[in-house]
């Protein structure tokens, strides 16, 4: 399977080593869970269509009129076309040094310091009038590459970040520049954040920046069982709790806990409890 390295796989002439890179992207096709290693932080602005990013921590869905700032790392990226036309987004890549310099320049005193547990690997925003006009200004500059100098690109990134900082300073400062989770914590986050996600073990291993065999071995050391058995057990436990609620229906629960079809869910549930989901619900609600 192809692994995309961003932005290097899409460098234009002379972009390698630049601290700020700005691209616009249009596509006539949808794509599902492309493995992507993002080597620089990025602002991803959706102009048309939808985009889903899965990382160790969460699933983030964006649609036209939204944007996110994402720390560098491994992600599974999907894109979907709008009802009419092409998928279209605008992406600004920037280094940790650029963001650090920005914080030093525009945050002072205690306002520039954030508690460690308040830091996030990504933040999302709705596009307002200012941001929509900002998008148009970038697209105009991209039409004249010779005019869009490195200095101007850095100023345009700084313009957006400064606007977001003044609009909601705590939110922007919560962005963690470098992922700090290593070792056991990374594996726990990958497993426990995606119990209900229809994701393969190979994809989980990718999000943890390791091979599948290494992922399985480390998982066994942490949880004392294989990742497949552990995830199945967690899904079934969650399903059992849902089935104790009278308003839940066995025919809809399987999708909520990450199963793609009902038959495999019923087999796994019966293996765990000796009852079908329907029988289990009737027994617990009678």
Per-residue DSSP letters for 162-215?
Answer: HHHHHH-HHHHHTB-SS----HHHHHHHHHHH-TTS---HHHHHHHTTS-HHHH
In a shared domain, residues 165 and 229: no
36 falls within a domain: yes
Can you give the pLDDT of all 286 residues of the chain as single tens digits?
Answer: 689 999 999 999 889 999 999 999 999 999 999 999 999 999 999 999 999 999 888 899 999 999 999 988 899 999 999 999 999 999 999 998 898 889 888 876 544 444 444 567 889 999 999 999 999 999 999 999 989 999 999 999 999 999 999 999 989 888 865 444 456 777 788 888 899 988 899 999 999 889 999 999 999 998 899 999 999 999 999 999 999 998 999 889 999 999 988 999 999 999 999 999 999 999 988 7
134 falls within a domain: yes
- Nearest-angstrom CA–CA distance, 218 and 190: 12
In a shared domain, residues 167 and 188: no
Per-residue DSSP letters for 63-128?
Answer: ETTEEEEE-SEEEEEEEE--SSS-EEEEEEEE-HHHHHHHHHHH--GGGG---GGG-BSEEEEE--
In a shared domain, residues 212 and 84: no
In a shared domain, residues 30 and 169: yes
Instruction: Assess whether the previous peptide bond of 7 is cis (omega < 30° from 0).
Output: yes
In a shared domain, residues 165 and 246: no
In a shared domain, residues 126 and 194: no
In a shared domain, residues 212 and 122: no
CATH number (domain holding residue 17): 2.60.120.280
- Residue ending a domain, among 127, 150, 173, is 173
In a shared domain, residues 142 and 220: no
* pTM greater than 0.85: no
- Residue ending a domain, among 149, 173, 197, is 173
- Residue ending a domain, among 146, 173, 200, is 173
178 falls within a domain: no
In a shared domain, residues 28 and 146: yes
261 falls within a domain: yes
105 falls within a domain: yes
DSSP-derived 3-state class of residue 283: helix
* Total tally of structural domains belonging to the chain: 2
- Phi, psi torsion values for 153, nearest 5 degrees: -60, -40
- Phi, psi torsion values for 122, nearest 5 degrees: -155, 155
In a shared domain, residues 32 and 54: yes
In a shared domain, residues 73 and 208: no
Neighbouring CB atoms inside 10 A of 143's CB total: 10
CATH number (domain holding residue 270): 1.10.10.60
In a shared domain, residues 31 and 157: yes
Domain of 10, in residue numbers: 3-173
């Amino acid at each position: 399977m192809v692994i995309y390295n961003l932005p290097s796989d899409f460098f234009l002439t002379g972009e390698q080593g630049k601290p700020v890179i700005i691209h616009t992207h249009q596509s006539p096709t949808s794509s599902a869970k492309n493995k992507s290693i993002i080597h620089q932080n990025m602002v991803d602005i959706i102009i048309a269509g939808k985009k889903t990013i899965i990382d160790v921590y969460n699933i983030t869905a964006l649609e036209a009129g939204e944007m996110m700032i994402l720390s560098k790392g491994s992600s599974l990226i999907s894109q979907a076309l709008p009802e009419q036309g092409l998928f279209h987004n605008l992406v600004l890549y920037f280094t940790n040094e650029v963001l650090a310099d920005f914080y030093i320049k525009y945050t002072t005193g205690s306002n520039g310091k954030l508690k460690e547990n308040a830091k996030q690997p990504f933040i999302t925003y709705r596009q307002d009038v200012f941001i929509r006009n900002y998008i148009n200004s970038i697209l105009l500059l991209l039409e004249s590459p010779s005019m869009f100098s490195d200095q101007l690109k850095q100023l345009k990134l700084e313009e957006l970040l400064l606007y977001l900082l003044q609009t909601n300073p705590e939110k922007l400062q919560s962005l963690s520049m470098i992922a700090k989770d290593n070792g056991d914590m990374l594996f726990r986050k990958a497993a426990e954040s995606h119990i209900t996600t229809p994701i393969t073990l190979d994809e989980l291993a990718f999000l943890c920046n390791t091979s599948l065999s290494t992922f399985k071995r480390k998982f066994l050391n942490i949880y004392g069982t294989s990742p497949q058995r552990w995830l199945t057990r967690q899904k079934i436990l969650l399903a059992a709790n849902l089935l104790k609620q009278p308003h839940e229906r066995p025919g809809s629960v399987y999708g909520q806990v990450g199963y793609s079809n009902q038959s495999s869910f019923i087999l796994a549930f019966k293996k765990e409890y000796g009852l079908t989901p329907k029988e289990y619900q009737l027994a617990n609600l009678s």
